[in-house]
Chains A and B, each alone.
Chain A
Amino acid sequence: MLIIKNASKIFSKGTVNEHTALRELNLLVEEGEFVTIVGSNGAGKSTLFNAVCGTFLLDAGSICLDDRNITFMAEHKRARHIGRLYQDTMKGTAPNLTIEENLALAYSRSKRGPFRIAVSKKERQLYRDALAAYEMGLEDRLETKVGLLSGGQRQIVALLMATLVPPKLLLLDEHTAALDPAAAEKVMKITKDIVRHNHLTTLMITHNLKSALTTGNRTIMMDGGSIIFDISEEERKNMTIEDLMHMYSQKRHVELDNDRMLFS
């Protein structure tokens, strides 16, 4: 369960570049909930993820994950409980390490002595089985450097790294946006399977409004650093993309930049 209370963040405070990235944002995500987040560029979606991950500290407010206050916890310490995927497929993996080494690094969240050989035989089998389940042909390429894989394959490795040890919270930051349609669909399907199978609490940012309404069980829309809509599963059922955009423009009294919102 993730509870964010009155989270505020202002960048470059007191200068001409002052920018309110988060404005007294409140969010409660129940355990096992899969929330999709939409909003135009600069709405504060990625900033919200950065705040949860600890890339920067909040100016005000608090963040609790499973009854633990993580507001001021060091980035690498809270990472133990949070899995994150980025749009940039290079960000989630170490390109000069092999697939199995990348997975071993992520698996280290759950283990053991520093001077043991990094990839044991037993683990190799574990990784092979896990990769084989996704039918990407990666299970036979455990010793290939991740930098040599395609974007979609890399994202699968990153996804597996984020979920090998099921995290308390999974953050997906437009993780299929840089992939071709077929790869995007495949990665999204695998994502849904993993989330369902592990019953993961998940937040997913997307610019694809259709997938936002059909994925998971709740949709929130952000604008100007706060949440302007929170749509439950029931309300969402009969909603169309037009309804969503209509709600947005009514609330903001501005015409939505259709092209940009639809571009996905």
Chain B
Amino acid sequence: MQLYITALQEGFLYGIMALGIFISLRILNIPDLTTEGSFGFGLSIAAVLAAKGFVITSILLAVIAGAAAGFTTGFLQTKLSIHPVLAGIITMSGLYSINLLCLGAANMSLNDNTLFRVMKEAFFPNSSGMDSKIFYAVISGFICLLIMVILIWFFRTHFGMCIRATGDNEQMVRSSSINVNITKTAGLCIANALVALSGACIAHAQNYADIHSSNGTLVVGLASVIIGEALLGKRSIVIGILSAVTGSIAYRFIVAFVLSYNICGANMMKLMCALVVAVTLSIPAVKNQMAVLKLKKEAKKHADH
């Protein structure tokens, strides 16, 4: 049970990252590889500042840092015409060194100066064990929900709509006298700010930061977005936003499930996760096949008459 509560919390926090990836991948239609860099950037900035006691500031600055990373990638893409994938890789690899420089070591502790502990002390100072785990999950859910609401509002505003249109038909947006360099860069800033926020929250949730925490986050984020779409579809922006978070939670539950049964031992964890993710992703295709089979059967029945 405890495992699943933690999975829920992680699902919400990594869900913020999935939202960032959803924005770059689905809304802007740009494969943005900055993610691992900006996740680590948010993580290390939050860790360093929180360890010194600046809990709230650490999260705000992490968000700004992520936006700056997104801006760098956007600048490389738009003003310097570097291929989107390469621009992301450049920023990401550059950030790796910066993150190391920030942390000062491969890992560090936040010394219990975390957002979650501060909140707990403010609201439920006496809770412990299971209760506090549930409380942490609720806070994480609240943060994630807040971000979702802001995003849903933002993409209905004029500027948000311009960003959506940029990913849809860039030439047409330009013809509507909108500077697509600005909309693209702004989109990447928002996406990476969210990724960095996710990194910062993860550092606070774990009470320590490890430079390697960001490894593989891009793949997890992509998987979350796609799992979410397999489960809920992608009819509109609101559904897309919901499905990114749902996908992230589903992914964490899959991991928790694999861990809880300890199938084939810990070394096989990644393989088992990969298998379960593959199965989840194949659901729409299987559903389709079933529908085709049913259709054929029905058609045959009528042909016999």
CB interface residues, A 97-142, toward B, < 8 Å: 97, 101-102, 104-106, 108-109, 111-118
Set of chain B residues within 8 Å of A246, measured between Cβ atoms? none
B176 touches A105 (CB 8 A): yes
A113-B158, A114-B157, A118-B158 as given contacts; A97 in contact with B165, CB under 8 Å: yes
B161 touches A118 (CB 8 A): yes
B176 touches A109 (CB 8 A): yes
A79-B174, A108-B176 as given contacts; A115 in contact with B169, CB under 8 Å: no
Cα–Cα distance between A92 and B169 once the two chains are bound (Å): 8
A76-B177, A97-B165 as given contacts; A91 in contact with B172, CB under 8 Å: yes
Name the residue on A nearest B29 (C-beta). A96
B180 touches A76 (CB 8 A): yes
B109 to chain A, nearest CB (A): 40
Cα–Cα distance between A93 and B165 once the two chains are bound (Å): 9
Interface of B is mostly: helix
A54 to chain B, nearest CB (A): 9
Cα–Cα distance between A101 and B176 once the two chains are bound (Å): 12
Set of chain B residues within 8 Å of A23, measured between Cβ atoms? none
Set of chain B residues within 8 Å of A116, measured between Cβ atoms? 157-158
Cα–Cα distance between A72 and B176 once the two chains are bound (Å): 18
Q: Is B184 an interface residue (CB 8 A)?
A: no
B159 touches A114 (CB 8 A): yes
A118 touches B156 (CB 8 A): yes
Cα–Cα distance between A80 and B177 once the two chains are bound (Å): 5
B154 to chain A, nearest CB (A): 8
Q: Is A95 an interface residue (CB 8 A)?
A: yes
B179 touches A76 (CB 8 A): yes
B177 touches A94 (CB 8 A): no
Contact of A117 among B157, B164, B177 (CB under 8 A): B157
Set of chain B residues within 8 Å of A106, measured between Cβ atoms? 176
Set of chain A residues within 8 Å of B165, measured between Cβ atoms? 94, 97, 101-102, 105
Name the residue on B nearest A75 (C-beta). B174
Q: Please, what's the 1-or-0 string for B164-178, where 1 marks a CB less than 8 Å from any CB in chain A? A: 110011011111111
Q: Is A45 an interface residue (CB 8 A)?
A: no
B168 touches A96 (CB 8 A): yes
- Could you show 27 A-B contacts with beta carbons less than 8 Å apart? A53-B175, A75-B174, A76-B177, A76-B179, A76-B180, A79-B174, A79-B175, A84-B175, A91-B172, A92-B172, A94-B164, A94-B165, A94-B169, A96-B164, A96-B168, A101-B164, A104-B161, A105-B165, A105-B178, A113-B158, A114-B157, A114-B158, A114-B159, A116-B157, A116-B158, A118-B161, A161-B176
Residues of A within 8 A of B (CB): 53, 74-80, 82, 84, 90-97, 101-102, 104-106, 108-109, 111-118, 161
